[in-house]
Chain A
Amino acid sequence: MCGIVGLFLKDKTLEPHLGEMLAEMLVTMTDRGPDSAGIAIYGKNSKGRTKITLQSDNPDQDFGTLPEELDQIFGGSFSLKRKDTHAVLEVASDVVKTARQTLQTIRPGVRVMSVGDTIEIYKEVGLPKDVAARFELDKMQGTHGIGHTRMATESAVTTMGAHPFSTGSDQCLVHNGSLSNHNSLRRRLRQDGMTFETENDTEVAAAYLSWKMQHGSTLDQALESGLDDLDGFYTFVVGTKDGFGVVRDPIACKPAVMAETDRYVAFGTEYRALVNLPDIENARVWEPEPAHVYFWSH
């Protein structure tokens, strides 16, 4: 099962309500994925600054004095905004790489959920309504966002097994379905230097896309290649800095509904997730074609 929701705003006046709208959509998909939930939200971009979203099982201990410690090492410019088990660390863009290396040394238990100018990823185990409340999703603002509710089939119910998965700077992936060749593909990608945190099939798809893009593919080219290389059932939604994309496997068993008005483009695994969006009665509602890559961007 699993549920996916996505919302891409065309009308700027809706941006303060993005989190609120997305939270409602996410909770509607609880029946499809009560194990865990996650969201990727694309918010404000501060010039010259990069956001690193972190997760820790011991957030008090790990996040308490983290910005001060990093400031001491790098000489200022770090800020940290904590949300439950997650925290968004803002750093000067030119020190992202070294800051991540330092983080690995001084906070080995901290996991990086996402890196980018605007993306923040939050995900945890639990009912979608509880996860949304813990991260105060309804208060979040932004231009677009993706949410996922998980019913695990391929691997354990853990924070790191929840979606979205980061695929690169300002990019993420969520998945409804199951991949059957993830073990062999993981082995191949490991040989080529990709690293994995879980036994999860979607993490392999995310790593596959990252790997393709490291080798010169654009995101849509990587998704096109995925149609040949990823075996199994999937509806993928990918988030990018400017928007989001949708692709379904050629058999297209996994449901997907899109809706578009002058004010937004919305994705839902089921139409139920979209029913309370503004003016949905007059939206163009359709089912995305199989094996076809769709993109919406600002």
Chain B
Amino acid sequence: MQTFDLASEGLRKLNQTLHAQNANTNQTEWNIVNPKGSHAIAVGLDAPISVTVNGSTGYYCAGMNQQADVHIKGSAGPGVAENMISGSVIVDGDASQYAGATGHGGLLVIKGNASSRCGISMKGIDIVVGGNVGHMSAFMAQSGNLVVCGDAGDALGDSLYEARLFVRGKVKSLGADCIEKEMRPEHLKILADLLERAGIDSKPEEFRRYGSARQLYNFHVDNAAAY
């Protein structure tokens, strides 16, 4: 286990040190202390390493992650795990706005609540939120899965493409072109797997599924006057 004190060594050195790790590194376990809400902690990682951040983080923690497993033992500021490609990011507390935005792959788990625009423009990432998500979550989401164990705010899945949305609690309102869809056995299977991987004890049967009505994202001649 390597321990890195962010307060004394600084952000640039931290990220350079983590970037220096490759597939053959022996230094696979990293423990970051004194994050104190700093921005851009552990961004751009691309190695099979485990990074634990002991405290809360500021903007863009674990952005652009590939391969690494990042565990934030606190809450995360805006843009956590933005544009993740692979690996995993776990947030023990809450996440601020646009968590997991534009993510292509990997797993983001937020054990508390996520605020507005969670999973905006997601492109294949899986996001599991233990609590609630704020308004405009999964806005223009293209693929991947967003699982919300609590409630969803206004305009869930507005202008949605092919991402799957699962919500256990109430949905304040659905966004344009987002509709409730039938939960079929294959969806329950996906959901069960995601909940298990996220370590969240919820029953897949308690969730509802939402997705795109597919009326909005193609040009539709009947709507020509509205364009």
Chain A residues within 8 Å of B, Cβ to Cβ? 250-253, 255, 257, 270-275, 281, 285-287, 289-290
State the CA gap A23–B55 with chains docked (Å): 23
Contact B56 A285, beta carbon cutoff 8 Å? yes
Contacts of B93 in A (CB 8 A): 285
State the CA gap A271–B37 with chains docked (Å): 6
Contacts of B78 in A (CB 8 A): 255
State the CA gap A161–B37 with chains docked (Å): 29
Contacts of B135 in A (CB 8 A): 250, 252, 290
Instruction: Give me 4 other A-B pairs in contact (C-beta within 8 A), A272-B36, A287-B96, A287-B115 excluded.
Output: A271-B37, A272-B38, A285-B56, A289-B134
| B75 at the binding interface (Cβ < 8 Å) | yes
> Which of A270, A286, A287 is the one whose CB lies under 8 Å from B58?
A270
| B94 at the binding interface (Cβ < 8 Å) | yes
> Which of A251, A253, A255 is the one whose CB lies under 8 Å from B77?
A255
State the CA gap A290–B93 with chains docked (Å): 20
Contact B94 A286, beta carbon cutoff 8 Å? yes
Contact A275 B77, beta carbon cutoff 8 Å? no
Contacts of A272 in B (CB 8 A): 36-38, 58
| B159 at the binding interface (Cβ < 8 Å) | no
Contact B96 A255, beta carbon cutoff 8 Å? yes
Contact A290 B58, beta carbon cutoff 8 Å? no
Most chain B Cβ neighbours within 10 Å, of A270, A273, A281: A270
State the CA gap A250–B78 with chains docked (Å): 17
B99 to chain A minimum Cβ distance, whole angstroms, is: 12
Chain B residues within 8 Å of A, Cβ to Cβ? 36-38, 55-56, 58-59, 75, 77-78, 93-94, 96-97, 115-116, 134-135
Contact A252 B116, beta carbon cutoff 8 Å? yes
Contacts of A255 in B (CB 8 A): 77-78, 96-97
State the CA gap A283–B94 with chains docked (Å): 13
> Which of A270, A286, A287, A290 is the one whose CB lies under 8 Å from B37?
A270
Contact A271 B115, beta carbon cutoff 8 Å? no
B114 to chain A minimum Cβ distance, whole angstroms, is: 10
Q: For residue A271, which residue of chain B has the nearest CB? A: B37
B106 to chain A minimum Cβ distance, whole angstroms, is: 24
Q: For residue B78, which residue of chain A has the nearest CB? A: A255
B61 to chain A minimum Cβ distance, whole angstroms, is: 11
Contact B97 A253, beta carbon cutoff 8 Å? yes
Q: For residue B38, which residue of chain A has the nearest CB? A: A272
State the CA gap A255–B36 with chains docked (Å): 17
Contacts of A271 in B (CB 8 A): 37, 56, 58, 75, 77
Q: For residue A272, which residue of chain B has the nearest CB? A: B37
Contacts of A250 in B (CB 8 A): 135
> Which of A275, A285, A287, A290 is the one whose CB lies under 8 Å from B36?
A275
State the CA gap A252–B96 with chains docked (Å): 11
State the CA gap A286–B115 with chains docked (Å): 10
Could you list 29 A-B pairs, sorted by A, with CB under 8 Å?
A250-B135, A251-B116, A252-B97, A252-B115, A252-B116, A255-B96, A257-B96, A270-B37, A270-B58, A271-B37, A271-B77, A272-B36, A272-B37, A272-B58, A274-B37, A275-B36, A275-B37, A275-B56, A281-B55, A285-B56, A285-B75, A285-B93, A287-B94, A287-B96, A287-B115, A289-B134, A290-B116, A290-B134, A290-B135
State the CA gap A273–B36 with chains docked (Å): 9
B35 to chain A minimum Cβ distance, whole angstroms, is: 9
Contacts of A289 in B (CB 8 A): 134
State the CA gap A281–B74 with chains docked (Å): 9
Most chain A Cβ neighbours within 10 Å, of B36, B37, B94, B134: B37
**Shortest beta-carbon contacts, A-B, top 7:** A272-B37, A271-B37, A275-B36, A287-B115, A275-B37, A271-B56, A252-B116
A256 to chain B minimum Cβ distance, whole angstroms, is: 9
State the CA gap A68–B17 with chains docked (Å): 65
A270 to chain B minimum Cβ distance, whole angstroms, is: 6
B124 to chain A minimum Cβ distance, whole angstroms, is: 25
A72 to chain B minimum Cβ distance, whole angstroms, is: 54
State the CA gap A251–B136 with chains docked (Å): 9
Most chain B Cβ neighbours within 10 Å, of A270, A271, A273: A271
State the CA gap A286–B77 with chains docked (Å): 11
Contacts of B96 in A (CB 8 A): 255, 257, 287
Q: For residue A254, which residue of chain B has the nearest CB? A: B97
B70 to chain A minimum Cβ distance, whole angstroms, is: 17
Contacts of B58 in A (CB 8 A): 270-272
Q: For residue B96, which residue of chain A has the nearest CB? A: A287
State the CA gap A257–B59 with chains docked (Å): 12
B113 to chain A minimum Cβ distance, whole angstroms, is: 8
State the CA gap A289–B115 with chains docked (Å): 8
Contacts of B55 in A (CB 8 A): 281
